[in-house]
Copies of this chain bind each other. A is one copy, B any other.
Amino acid sequence: MMTKMRRLPSQERGLARVELLLKAAEELIAELGYDRATTNAIAARAETSIGSLYQFFPNKEAIGQALVSRYMSQQRALFAAVFERDLSGLSLEQAVNQLLDPVVAYYGSHLDLTTIFATAHSSPELVQQVAAFNHELIGRLSQLLASRYSQLTTEDCQVYAMVVREVAGHLLGVAQTSEARLSGRIMTEAKRLIIAYLSHCELERTGDNRA
């Protein structure tokens, strides 16, 4: 990984500035997209100067990198707690809740950077980093499915995991940009959708193999 910062803040002042800058960047990128969120605007919203911004970040991409890094470690922490738990005794519905509830809660107060940076053609680095994280998550999910449904092949598990992750991520993103009333409903539907899909996958291999 490239050097993330030009100069690590050593004083409290510097650290606070970096936090303000990241917060401002997150807001602006959410509002305008990565390209339109100019470094000058980010500095302005953080109530500081471009000079200060470039004292800590070597270039614009480093800001995106920092945001994505933070996002990924937060998400990893979120999932680590769930993946450690033993879900084998739970019903499918309970297991899905265990997996999605933390993410839903997280998305209540944080942005879906995956969606934002998955299409940030401006910096292939970021796109690839987000893609790698996605792949990592799908791998974990795939293992979970494999341990739960031993009759499924590895490849099927991977495909199912990918579908579930894509669909869940997308619907949560949609929920985030919807009005509050719809938002909750969409998340509920996301869960129902995944439960229905996985039940279907499960049945297909255990029950009749005709249709």
On A, residues with C-beta under 8 Å from B are 31-33, 35-36, 93, 119, 121-122, 159-160, 162-163, 166-167, 170-171, 174, 182, 185-186, 189-190, 192-193, 195-197, 199-201, 211
Residues of chain B contacted by A192 (CB below 8 angstroms): 197, 200-201
Contact between B200 and A195 (Cβ–Cβ < 8 Å)?
Answer: yes
Picked from B35, B36, B167, B186, the residue with its CB within 8 Å of the CB of A170 is B167
Contact between B197 and A193 (Cβ–Cβ < 8 Å)?
Answer: yes
**So how many copies of this chain end up in the complex?**
2
Q: Nearest Cβ distance between residue A75 and chain B, in whole angstroms?
A: 19
Cβ-closest 4 pairs across A and B: A196-B200, A33-B121, A196-B196, A170-B170
Contact between A36 and B195 (Cβ–Cβ < 8 Å)?
Answer: no
Q: Is the interface of A mostly helix, strand, loop or mixed?
A: helix
**A32-B121 contact given A163-B189, A199-B196, CB 8 Å threshold:** yes
Contact between A119 and B122 (Cβ–Cβ < 8 Å)?
Answer: no
Residues of chain B contacted by A196 (CB below 8 angstroms): 196-197, 199-200
Residue of B nearest to A115 (CB): B119
Which has the most chain B C-beta neighbours within 10 Å: A32, A167, A192, A195?
Answer: A167
**19 intermolecular pairs with C-beta atoms under 8 Å apart:** A32-B121, A33-B119, A33-B121, A33-B122, A35-B36, A35-B121, A36-B121, A36-B122, A119-B119, A159-B185, A163-B189, A163-B193, A166-B171, A167-B193, A192-B197, A193-B200, A196-B197, A196-B199, A196-B200
Residues of chain B contacted by A199 (CB below 8 angstroms): 196, 200
